Every structure is written in C-alpha cells, then in structure tokens.
C-alpha cells in the first residue's frame, strides 16, 4: 500500500501557485497525495481533495467546523507525513493532528513569514506570537523561508523537534526568464504598449500591507520627468477602487494600468522594465523572485522578505517605507541609465539561479521529507 501525505493550507490556490513541484515529487516516489483546504480547484498530482471551511480570521466560528473536519480526515487517513502551510490552516491542522502525532505521523509546518517580526504591530505579537510558540510544541519540523524568521524561532526557543530554513518555494527559471530586446518589444505591442514605454510591475492584493498607494505617490513625483513610465498593477482587493481614485487625484490616471486578477503573470513580468514592491511585511516574496528570474532590477520598500532578496547596487535598491522621493529617484535613474538597468537585472537572475530556483529548493526540502520517509527510523535533529 502506498504511503500517504496530507498537504493543508487555508486556501487551495496556495498549492496551485506554490507547491505543485513538491506534490509531483511525492507522486514520483509512489506516494498518495491528499490536500485539505478551502476551495474547489482541481489540483494536479492530487489523489483526494477535501474542501475545508477554513477562514483567515482566527476568531471566525467556521474554524471550529474546519477543525472537526480536519481531525476526522487525519484520524481516518493514516498519514505518514502532514505538511501544513499558512497561519490559520497550519494552526488548525497541527491541533487536529495531535492524536495522529502520538501514533507516529510526522507534522511539518512551513511559516511563510511570521506575522510577528521586527517592526510588526504590537497586536501581531500579542495574538500570533504566543499561538505560534505554543503550536511549535506539536510540530516535528518548523520550516522558515527567511533568515530573520529562523533566527527569531531559535532565539525565542520554539519547541519544534527541528527548525530548518529553506529558500522559499522556488522559481521555475525556465518559465520565468529574460527576453531579448526584439522579443520584449514585440510582446509589449501584443499587450498594447509601445517599445519605449517604461513599465513598472507589481502583482499583489490591494490591501494596507501591500501599500500600492506608496507606488502611486512615488510615480506622481516623476510624472513629468519620466513621461513614458507606466505602472502595471495586477491583483484585486478591498483597496482597489481607492487606488483608482488616488491615481486620478494625483494626475497619473493615464500612467497606471489596473489589470485585476491575471493568470499570465509570466508574460507580464517578462515585458516589464523594473519590478517595484511597496509591501510593509513579507516573508520571501515570490513576485520579487519571479521578476529577478526574468532579469528585472528591483526597487522595493525595506522589509524582512525584501532584505533577503535585494542587495543595494547589486540587483536593485531597498528604500524606507516613507521615502517616496528616494524611491522615485531610483526609478528615474533606471530609466535614464539603460546599462545600469541591464546590469542589475542580470545580477538578479544569477542570484535566483544560484539559490532560489525550483530545483535548488526542491533539493533542500526533499532532504527534510526524506528523513521521515525512511521506515522505522527516528531522526536525530538538531537546530543549526
């Protein structure tokens, strides 16, 4: 009988976006792969898919129902490994798997950026820190995706059996790759842009953390200096209409394209000139890694996740969250010095190939999995 792994998260598109290579890896090993999350997406490399009513708010009453469903699935599933993701999905799963762990199931949790970190609001520390520290006690391996979270978990003595860092979820560098000048110009035309349009790209949900208004305000400072600049924003969210109104009020409505939800992110990134990022908090942002893989320089607000990826004067720049003038000046510099743009973009691509490609990350995480895939052999972990 095939061994079984259960992947859990708050929503199922999390797996479609980030984890299919790892699910395929298990299928290639002959394992049964099940998924439990909110949503009805038909996922590749999946034997059984469970739609669980997990809610993002820890205080939503539907999470009690989600917990009961998860517990039934886990108790009846006889899983060798459970790998959970996202704060609420990961928390409910670990609670529901408590009995299964006592029977030998191994539970792995990937923290895609702790909600508590340096500079985070006090409420985040009051709510999420004690929860995550408690849940670490019922976690066999805690995986972090950046150095700061790893150091925080070690410093605060999280009680997981093992604490590991991996380099994110990986980027398909064959899919996200640079275009030559002629390809990029032709592709720009197919999207309705001109070859000399200077495209700034950001894909994110419109919310307070992603902070798109900072990008709009920065662009407004150089609307006369870089008239060919176009800010290309992909995504939806509660603040989308507010940002539309702000763009008009700033006199840059004609320079901003609100694209909504997009499935062709790879093509959009590849036609752009610079990736910009304004979020206040990140774990290890995939949108930045994809842009680097496509050879784009990065101008980003300084935060934990961006610090992991962006090195000043090597592949872009980090700018403080309130320094719109410096942010806009960096964009203006990249537009006026094409050779610099190319150099920074090339350096970013090399960084991804060296450390953050899907193959590199799969190698890292498969080593964690493999320890628990060996029958009747207890791992001797240590934090290092």
Question: Same domain, yes or no, for 307 and 205?
Answer: yes
The values of phi and psi at residue 320, to 5°, are -65, 155
Report if residue 253 sits inside a domain.
yes
Instruction: Answer yes or no: is 84 within a domain.
Output: yes
Q: Is residue 250 part of a domain?
A: yes
Cα–Cα distances in angstroms (integers) from residue 78 to residues 44, 74, 89, 113, in the given order? 22, 7, 19, 29
d(CA 239, CA 235): 11
**Average confidence (pLDDT) over 184-199:** 95
Nearest Cα neighbor of 71 from 98, 101, 36, 96 is 96
Q: What is the CATH number of the domain that holds 93?
A: 3.40.50.2000
**Residues 345 and 368 reside in one and the same domain:** no
Q: Which two tokens stand for residue 381?
A: 């972990």
**Is the domain of 143 the same as that of 229?**
no
- Do 163 and 273 fall into the same domain? no
- Give a yes or no: residue 381 inside a domain: no
d(CA 330, CA 272): 16
Are residues 337 and 365 part of one domain? no
Tell me how far apart the alpha carbons of residues 122 and 125 are, in angstroms, rounded to a whole number.
5
Residue 176 lies in a domain: no
**Is it the case that residue 285 has pLDDT exceeding 70?**
yes
Provide the pLDDT confidence category of residue 384 given band limits of 50, 70 and 90. very low
Residues 285 and 273 in one domain: yes
Same domain, 107 and 231: no
| Residue 214 within a domain | yes
Enclosing domain of residue 226:
181-356
Token pair for 136: 């670490």
- Residue 141: per-residue pLDDT: 98
Residue 279 included in any domain: yes
- 260 and 325 belong to one structural domain: yes
CA distances from 173 to 44, 176, 290 (A): 20, 5, 8
* Mean pLDDT, rounded, of the chain: 94
The pLDDT value recorded for residue 380 is 52
286-314 mean pLDDT? 97
Same domain, 368 and 351: no
- Reported confidence tier of residue 126, pLDDT bands at 50, 70, 90: confident
Q: Are residues 186 and 328 in the same domain?
A: yes
DSSP state at residue 348: H
Is 384 a member of any domain? no
The count of structural domains within the chain is 2
Share of the chain above pLDDT 90, in %: 91
How many CB atoms are located within 10 Å of the residue 342 CB? 15
> Looking at the structure, do residues 292 and 230 belong to the same domain, yes or no?
yes
Calculate mean pLDDT across residues 354-379.
86
Q: Which of 127-131, 189-193, 238-242, 327-331 has the lowest mean pLDDT?
A: 127-131
What's the pTM? 0.90
Q: Which of the four pLDDT bands, split at 50, 70 and 90, describes residue 120?
A: confident
CA distance readout (Å), 86 to 37, 279, 312, 319? 11, 18, 30, 28
311 in the same domain as 291: yes
């Amino acid at each position: 009988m095939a061994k079984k792994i259960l992947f859990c998260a708050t929503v199922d598109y999390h797996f479609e976006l980030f984890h299919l290579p790892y699910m395929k890896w298990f299928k290639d090993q002959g394992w049964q792969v099940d998924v439990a999350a909110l949503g009805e997406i038909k996922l590749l490399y999946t034997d059984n898919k469970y739609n669980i009513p997990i809610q993002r708010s820890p205080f939503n009453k539907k999470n009690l129902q989600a917990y009961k469903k998860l517990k039934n699935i886990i108790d009846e599933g006889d899983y060798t490994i459970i790998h959970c993701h996202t704060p609420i999905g990961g928390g409910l799963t670990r609670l529901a798997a408590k009995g299964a762990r006592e029977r030998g199931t191994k539970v792995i949790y990937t923290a895609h950026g702790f909600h508590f970190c340096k500079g985070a609001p006090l409420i985040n520390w009051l709510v999420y820190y004690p929860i995550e520290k408690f849940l670490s006690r019922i976690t066999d391996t805690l995986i972090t995706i950046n150095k700061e979270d790893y150091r925080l978990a070690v410093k605060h003595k999280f009680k997981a059996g093992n604490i590991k860092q991996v380099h994110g979820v990986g980027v398909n560098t064959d899919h996200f790759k640079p275009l030559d000048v002629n390809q990029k110009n032709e592709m720009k035309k197919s999207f309705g842009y001109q070859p000399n349009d200077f495209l700034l790209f950001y894909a994110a949900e419109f919310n307070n953390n992603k902070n798109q208004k900072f990008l709009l305000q920065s662009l407004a400072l150089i609307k006369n200096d870089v008239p060919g600049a176009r800010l290309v924003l992909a995504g939806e969210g509660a603040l989308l209409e507010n940002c539309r109104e702000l763009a008009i009020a700033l006199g840059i409505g004609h320079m901003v394209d609100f694209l909504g939800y997009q499935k062709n992110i790879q093509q959009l990134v590849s036609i752009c000139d610079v990736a910009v990022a304004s979020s206040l908090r990140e774990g290890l942002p995939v949108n930045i890694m994809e842009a680097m893989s496509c050879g784009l320089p990065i101008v980003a607000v300084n935060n934990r996740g961006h610090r992991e990826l962006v090195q000043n004067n090597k592949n872009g720049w980090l700018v403080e969250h309130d320094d719109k003038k410096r942010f806009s000046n960096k964009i203006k510099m990249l537009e006026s010095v094409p050779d610099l743009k190319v150099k920074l973009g090339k350096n970013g691509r090399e960084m991804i190939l060296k450390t953050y490609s899907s193959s590199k990350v799969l190698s890292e995480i498969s080593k964690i999995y493999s320890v628990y895939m060996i029958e009747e052999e207890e791992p001797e972990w240590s934090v290092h």
